Amino acid sequence: MSVNHSLLPVSESELASLLAAPPSIRGFVESRAAEVRRLLMDGLAIISLTAEDERDPLAFMQSGAPDSVSGWIGDEDDVEADMGYGPASYYRNSFVTEVAKRLELWPVETFARHCDVDFLDQHDTYPGGWRTPGRKEALIRSFGVYRECVTSTAQSGMHLLVWND
């Protein structure tokens, strides 16, 4: 079993539609599968290496965000809206822009220099196995996908859906 983070930019009208009909999220995500950005199991490691603490906007995939800029598509009891490990969360563009500003300090090259797999192993960062050959390079690629998705979502004025499966 694993926790894979997936991200998908959505427009204001798409978000409104999903909030009005949470069970439609599965079909919506399937129809936009080519646009989904998957971090696989690297999300928690990215947070561990970039966020200063759980209140840092960069920790949003783990800690969430204020209710004024985020929420759930459906609720925990809505099995039709369940995306694998509960409902998807959404983050409004104002918050995504805040995260993107924090990521300005983290170009991929900087992340690569600070990508300490020993730190991840010493802190038992999920899923483990960080010293496996090629694992560090895969984590750096995932960070690049994450950074590009957040940055382009912020710049385009869209909101961001995030779910775990």
Domains contained in the chain, CATH given: 5-164 (3.40.1760.10)
Q: What is the DSSP string of 96-156?
A: HHHHHHHHTT--HHHHHHH--HHHHHHTT-TT--TTSTTHHHHHHHHHHHHHHHHHHHHHH
What are the angstrom distances between the C-alpha of 160 and each of 55, 77, 111? 19, 22, 22
Give tens-digit pLDDT for 99-124.
Answer: 999 999 999 999 999 999 999 999 99
77 exposed, middle or buried (CB, 10 Å; 0-12, 13-18, 19+)? exposed
Look at residue 98 and tell me whether its pLDDT is greater than 90.
yes
Residue from 62, 41, 38, 40 nearest 50 by CA: 62
Give tens-digit pLDDT for 35-75.
Answer: 999 998 999 999 999 999 999 999 999 999 999 999 999 98
pTM for the predicted model, two decimal places: 0.93
Look at residue 1 and tell me whether its pLDDT is greater than 60.
no
